[in-house]
Chain A
Amino acid sequence: MNIDIESTLRAQRWRDPPPEFLERVLDRALQNVAAPARTSRLLALFAFIPRPLRLPLAACWLLAFFFRVTTPEAIPQSTLESYAKLPPMTPAQLLANRQQIERLADELLQPQHHGVIPPL
């Protein structure tokens, strides 16, 4: 009995999967593709930077950010001008000057605060 087994096989018709199963497969797959797609859109902004440069650039940016945060505010120009008008003095001279001013102020104010109240 010469059976053409190949044509017999080809004549068999496969059962189709249930349509609801196929829908479920696609739905789940699409749910899993949604989140990475949003992320990749954000990452696409950096796509123009060549890959080997991304890490060094990120390190530079972090360093710049660190210095930006830790560096104190610049002294305003008007303050710098006021300082420029002062005579050149050492810190020791400044302190001595300040102590002298305070002593003189005490001497001047002492009679007003602690002296006899003048008659009206």
Chain B
Amino acid sequence: MPPTEATLTRLHAEYAVSAYRFAWSVTKDEALAQEVVQELFLKLARDPGLITAAQSERAVIFTLTRNLALDSLRRRSTREDALERFADESPGWFLPAADAVAEETRAQITTALAALPEEQRSVIHLHVWEELSFREIGELLGLPTQTVASRYRYGLEKLRAQKHTLV
């Protein structure tokens, strides 16, 4: 197997699921997230230099995923329109909870998270579920660490407030 194919297979095994979740988080649309992930791996296949020249594979994967997701939103319509269109929808991001209370919490969190601006949701996603540090998120989003931390804090505050409202 040529090195590029082996590298691509490894990247797929390590990052396909994470990229899919992140794309879904950004776009709030599962079908769009699938297109983004497909496009991401086609891009990596056609240009292996993207990974070989990079210092952090993970940073490249998430940066490309976010850029492709935002591009796909722009293609569908303008970004604001698309976000507004999907704002009322509750994406099926999370698995159903075992009991009724947890299920209610899940529904509230999903709704609150979907209502956040994309910038804050992306930071929360990368920090909470991908376990990236604020510094790493700042590098891949091209933002100062303090800005990332602020977005995270504001995002959590909104979620907390939203959850109180929903409760």
Contact = CB atoms under 8 A, between A and B. Distances in A.
B114 interface: no
Contact of B37 (A3, A16, A17, A41): A17
Given A5-B160, A29-B8, A30-B45, A13 B16 contact: no
B75 interface: no
Given A3-B160, A9-B109, A14 B129 contact: yes
A20 to B, nearest CB: 11
A8 B46 contact: no
Q: Is the interface of B mostly helix, strand, loop or mixed?
A: helix
Interface stretch (B58-66, B76-84, B90-98, B140-148): B90-98
Given A1-B167, A5-B163, A25 B46 contact: no
A30 B8 contact: yes
Interface of B: 2, 4-5, 8-9, 12, 16-17, 20-21, 34, 37-38, 41-42, 44-46, 48, 92-95, 102, 105-106, 109, 113, 124, 128-129, 156, 159-160, 163-164, 167
27 contacts: A1-B167, A6-B156, A10-B128, A10-B129, A12-B106, A13-B94, A14-B94, A15-B93, A15-B94, A15-B95, A17-B17, A22-B12, A25-B16, A25-B38, A26-B12, A28-B41, A28-B42, A29-B12, A29-B45, A30-B9, A32-B42, A32-B46, A33-B5, A33-B45, A33-B46, A37-B2, A37-B4
